[in-house]
Amino acid sequence: MPLGPISKKLLAAGATLATAALAFPALASRPEDGKIWFQPPATPLAEEVHFFHNLILMPIITVICVFVLALLLWIVIRYNSKANPVAKKFSHNMLLEVVWTAVPIFILLFIALFSFDLLYKEDVIPDGKKIVYEGDGQTTSFTVQNDFVPSRMAKRREHVDVYKVNAVTGAKIKLTHGADYSLEDLGEPIVIVSLSEAPRPNEAVEIIAGRTRTGPEPFLDLFGEDRSSIVPAPSITIKASGRQWGWDYSYPDFGDFEVSADIMPKDQLDDPSLYLLAATNNVVVPEGETVRIITTAIDVIHSWAMPAFALKVDAVPGRLNETWFRAPAPGMYYGQCSEICGLNHAYMPIALEVMSREDFDVWVNEQRAFAGLEPLFGAEQTRFAEAAADAAAAQQ
Ligand SMILES: [Cu+2]
């Protein structure tokens, strides 16, 4: 059904509202005094959560509140004992009862469409895989092993993203399905990606296959650009253990060294406004990589929360919960324990530092040294050497 001018206007107003809400004054990724609303979203998934809140939930809640208030006022004015001294005696109205049961069901189903999608994304760890092919100026056809579990196989064109990367500058361009490439054998063990133009020798083709796609997509396919992308599987797992009163982080992929984070005392802070947010140690992750967070607790239930990532996962003794995020731009991101866990609940800050992979490797080596372990990353073992090896392996 084509949209009428009024609904088009409404949608445009909604899109403007969303842009305004998303472009709220740039704050640091931390709570600030006197502010309301969310912290700005730092990850694509957080942007989706904001979209759900700002453009789906808020309008529905507002309409319901205004409607119920109007009904109440109407009844108070029209049917009070002065205005309506003789009340009618009927007690049922079939049509009305069916309507007031059915309408809320449809409203909830509509909300569920969006919210189940988000819940699923936050709960299921991404399993996307990235394959890089060097261009040779001739080859236009590339293959992807579709070796996921059957329910997670690449079956639709949304399950495969293709980029062209300039090997010299590192500039990355997302290619368009149909115009720049076509996909064959989706849902089969090997998917074939055919480019309309062969990548040159100084170019590479990056293919990402997987089912977890995050980031804003055009609203109803009408407004906004498509900034969504498939999320690669986590390259790092961090275990966060809550305890009264702090967090212990261990890095099982890098020798299981542990970092303890307690509250930074007020008199040791350079910036006093960071009191209750800064910790004695930061939990550190590398920029752009997918991080799996596993939470547990050693005494009572705590909750690991990072508002800028729209993440909150309970840390329950004797149990492991997990979630994930894609590390945003380098910087500090602050959260706090978000389950009332006892007397010093307010004194369990979560300070997360995102740094470049090179700095992260140095940090890992330092932490391993503190734990009495050999360095893991040497000059020849950086990410670039690994990436080059991967690319070489993929070519064979
Ligand atoms: Cu706690």
pLDDT in tens, 3-40: 444 444 444 444 444 444 444 333 458 888 888 888 88
- Ligand 1 centroid – CA 248 distance (Å): 12
Percent of the chain, pLDDT > 90?
52
- Ligand 1 centroid – CA 247 distance (Å): 9
The CATH number of residue 152's host domain is 2.60.40.740
- Ligand 1 centroid – CA 346 distance (Å): 8
Domain shared by 260 and 138, yes or no: no
Q: In sequence order, which residues have a C-beta less than 8 Å from that of residue 385 and are 6 or more positions away? A: none
Rounded to whole angstroms, the Cα distance separating 262 from 244 reads 10
Residue 216 lies in a domain: no
- Ligand 1 centroid – CA 86 distance (Å): 59
Q: Look at residues 74, 108, 123 and tell me which one is the last residue of a structural domain.
A: 123
> What is the pLDDT at residue 23?
42
- Ligand 1 centroid – CA 339 distance (Å): 6
Domain shared by 199 and 247, yes or no: no
Q: Look at residues 123, 140, 160 and tell me which one is the last residue of a structural domain.
A: 123
> What is the pLDDT at residue 392?
61
Q: 71 lies in which domain range?
A: 5-123
> What is the pLDDT at residue 25?
38
Residue 327 lies in a domain: yes
> What is the pLDDT at residue 378?
76
- Ligand 1 centroid – CA 89 distance (Å): 56
Residue 51 lies in a domain: yes
Residue 282 lies in a domain: yes
Cis amide prior to 100 (ω within 30 degrees): no
Residue 74 or 222, more confident: 74
Domain shared by 207 and 289, yes or no: no
**pLDDT of 2 over the 70 cut:** no
Report the candidate in 30, 41, 39, 27 with the shortest Cα–Cα distance to residue 276: 30
Most confident listed range (4-8, 44-48, 165-169): 44-48
> What is the pLDDT at residue 179?
87
Q: Is 34 left (phi over 0), alpha (psi -120 to 50) or beta?
A: left
Residue 347 lies in a domain: yes
Domain shared by 118 and 25, yes or no: yes
- Ligand 1 centroid – CA 156 distance (Å): 42
Domain shared by 154 and 119, yes or no: no
- Ligand 1 centroid – CA 277 distance (Å): 13
Domain shared by 169 and 97, yes or no: no
Rounded to whole angstroms, the Cα distance separating 221 from 118 reads 18
The count of other CB atoms within 10 Å of the CB of residue 210 is: 22
Domain shared by 269 and 382, yes or no: yes
Domain shared by 112 and 153, yes or no: no
* Number of domain units in the chain: 3
> What is the pLDDT at residue 390?
62
What is the average per-residue pLDDT within 197-214?
89
- Ligand 1 centroid – CA 33 distance (Å): 22
Assign 167 a pLDDT band (cuts: 50, 70, 90).
confident
> What is the pLDDT at residue 230?
92
- Ligand 1 centroid – CA 259 distance (Å): 17
Report how far apart, in Å, the C-alpha atoms of 47 and of each of 35, 113, 159, 174, 246 are.
19, 17, 20, 20, 29
Report how far apart, in Å, the C-alpha atoms of 364 and of each of 238, 272, 373 are.
13, 29, 10
Domain shared by 298 and 328, yes or no: yes
- Ligand 1 centroid – CA 341 distance (Å): 5
The CATH number of residue 23's host domain is 1.10.287.90
- Ligand 1 centroid – CA 355 distance (Å): 26
Buried b vs exposed e over 318-336: b needs ≥16 C-beta within 10 Å? eeebbbbbbbbeeeebbbb
- Ligand 1 centroid – CA 349 distance (Å): 9
| 78 CB burial (10 A radius; 0-12, 13-18, 19+) | exposed
- Chain mean pLDDT for the chain: 86
As a whole number of Å, the CA-based R_g of the chain is 26
Residue 220 lies in a domain: no
Buried b vs exposed e over 155-169: b needs ≥16 C-beta within 10 Å? beeebbbbbbbebee
Note the pTM of the prediction, 2 decimals: 0.79
- Ligand 1 centroid – CA 6 distance (Å): 49
Percent of the chain, pLDDT > 70?
87
Domain shared by 184 and 313, yes or no: no
What is the average per-residue pLDDT within 120-135?
91
- Ligand 1 centroid – CA 245 distance (Å): 7
Order the strands of the 203-209 sheet from edge to edge: 129-134, 203-209, 160-166, 172-174
- Ligand 1 centroid – CA 55 distance (Å): 32
pLDDT one-digit tens code per residue, 224-242: 778 889 999 999 999 999 9
Residue 262 lies in a domain: yes
Domain shared by 72 and 171, yes or no: no
E strand or H helix at 167, and its extent?
Answer: none
Q: Which of 180-184, 236-240, 321-325 has the lowest mean pLDDT?
A: 180-184
Phi and psi at residue 272, in whole multiples of 5°?
Answer: -60, -20
> What is the pLDDT at residue 22?
45
Q: Look at residues 107, 123, 139 and tell me which one is the last residue of a structural domain.
A: 123
- Ligand 1 centroid – CA 315 distance (Å): 9
Rounded to whole angstroms, the Cα distance separating 214 from 229 reads 6
Order the strands of the 141-145 sheet from edge to edge: 141-145, 190-195, 181-184
Q: In sequence order, which residues have a C-beta less than 8 Å from that of residue 153 and are 6 or more positions away? A: 146, 159, 187
**pLDDT of 146 over the 80 cut:** yes
Angle between helix 357-370 and helix 383-395 axes, rounded to 10 deg:
110
- Ligand 1 centroid – CA 366 distance (Å): 28
Domain shared by 244 and 178, yes or no: no
The CATH number of residue 366's host domain is 2.60.40.420
Residue 396 lies in a domain: no
